[in-house]
Structures are given as C-alpha cells and as structure tokens.
Amino acid sequence: MDFPFKHAIFDLDGTLLDSMNMWNDVDRKFLAQRGLPCSPEYVRAVKTLNFSDAARFTVDLYNLAESAEEVMAEWLRLARQAYEREITLKPSAGEFVRALRARGAALAVATSSKPELYLPALIRCGIADCFSAFVTTEELGCGKDSPKVYLEAGRRLGAAPAECAVFEDLLTGARCAKAAGFYTVAVYDPHAAADEAALRALADRYIRSFAELL
C-alpha cells in the first residue's frame, strides 16, 4: 500500500461517498419548488458551510418565508432516502479504508453532513465500523473554511496534525487542513473539477481514485 501514515481523516461527500449529484439534485428540487434559480455560485457557496449555516444562508439569500429549521427539515427529507438506499462509495474507497484499518490505522470522519444521513450509507456500504471517531462541522459550529473539524478529529484519534493525512475533495477544506499542518490528499470529484489545478498545486498528493493508493 502506497500510504505512509498511521492515522487518516476523511471527508465524506465527494471524497468517500459518491453523493454530490444527490446534493445538487436536492438543491435544485428545493429551489425549483419555489420558482428560484440554483446558480453555480449558490452551489459553491453552500458546499463550504455546515448544515444550519447553509440553511440560514439560503433563507437570507432568497428571502424565504420558511425558517432555517424548516429548510433543514425539507433538505433532510429529500436526502434521507438516497443515503439509506442509493448512495455508494467512490471506486476503491471501501477497499482502501478497510486495508488501512486492517493495518492498524486509526481513522476518523470529518464532515459537514449529519449522522442520520451518512451513518446509514456507511453501514450499508460496510465501512462504518472502520472509524474510531466521527466529527461534524455542525457540532463544532464551524464550516469547512475552518480547520476546527480536522483538528478535533485528530484530537479524538490522539494524533497530532503531522501524524495524520486528511482526505478532501473541496479546495476550501484541503486548504484549511494543509494550513493546520496535516498531510493533505486531494481526491478528484467531478463537481470540484473547476478547482482541480488549484487542488493539485496545494495538496501534498492528488488522486483521481483510491486505487492509486492500494
């Protein structure tokens, strides 16, 4: 295996889970029901926010009559079935995670998603028990534009940033992890293709598939 670290921290959506199409569909469907546009600028903005901040941003941007809580409830309703029944792992992601765990690595999740969404998907895909810690931006009150979620994941693993690799598909997250001292592996996702050159330049390593590390 071409991976020198004992500890690893993984983003989920767009990194381990092939779920970004689903979230774009949720955004489009939610806004279309209200006769509103789903612009590329909006999609880029909400990707970096935690769930509640994204809801508040949406309410403010579109001057919605609903509360942020009502927006989140609708998003969860639209997304839950896909995570429970449809979302899959990205190619070779499961094999890589299981191989790391078998080697004795301590693994953590650092995500903007909610446990009621991602846990059913990870359980169904057979890798939930590979992780020792799950950290969400929601519980820390931050977004992926802050290194807090990665630092807390490392703390729960008992590892310093220099001992961990962070896997991220988003430029914002990868930039924060790198600045905090983590070895950063950028993972290609079609929905972040516009940032591919920047991710290649920033990250310690760039992969288009986890098969490259096996």
CATH number for the domain spanning 190: value is 3.40.50.1000
Q: What is the pLDDT of residue 151?
A: 98
Q: Domain residues for 51?
A: 20-85
> Tokens 């809580």 — which residue?
69
For residue 142 the two structure tokens come to 């931050």
**166 pLDDT higher than 90:** yes
Band of pLDDT at residue 188, cut at 50, 70 and 90: very high
Is there a single domain that holds both residue 117 and residue 172? yes
Is there a single domain that holds both residue 110 and residue 209? yes
How big is the CA angle at 72 (ends 67 and 73), to the nearest 5 degrees?
95
Is there a single domain that holds both residue 141 and residue 80? no
Is there a single domain that holds both residue 74 and residue 12? no
Is there a single domain that holds both residue 30 and residue 102? no
More confident residue, 106 or 40: 106
Strands of 33-176 (E only): list them: 106-111, 133-136, 164-168
Lowest mean pLDDT segment, chosen from 31-45, 144-158, 163-177? 31-45
Band of pLDDT at residue 15, cut at 50, 70 and 90: very high
Q: What digits encode the pLDDT tens for the residues 27-72?
A: 999 999 999 999 988 988 888 888 889 999 999 999 999 999 999 9
Mean local confidence (pLDDT), 98-123:
95
Where among 43, 65, 85 does a domain terminate?
85
Displacement of CA 108 from its chain's centroid (Å): 12
Residue 162: inside a domain: yes
Q: What is the pLDDT of residue 208?
A: 96
Residue 2: inside a domain: no
**2 pLDDT higher than 80:** no
Is there a single domain that holds both residue 117 and residue 188? yes
**11 pLDDT higher than 80:** yes
Q: What is the pLDDT of residue 24?
A: 85
Is there a single domain that holds both residue 55 and residue 131? no
Q: How many domains does the chain have?
A: 2
**185 pLDDT higher than 80:** yes
DSSP single-letter state for residue 213: G
pTM for this predicted structure = 0.86
Displacement of CA 145 from its chain's centroid (Å): 12
**132 pLDDT higher than 90:** yes
C-alpha 32/C-alpha 2 separation (Å) is 45
Mean local confidence (pLDDT), 126-151:
95
Is there a single domain that holds both residue 135 and residue 68? no
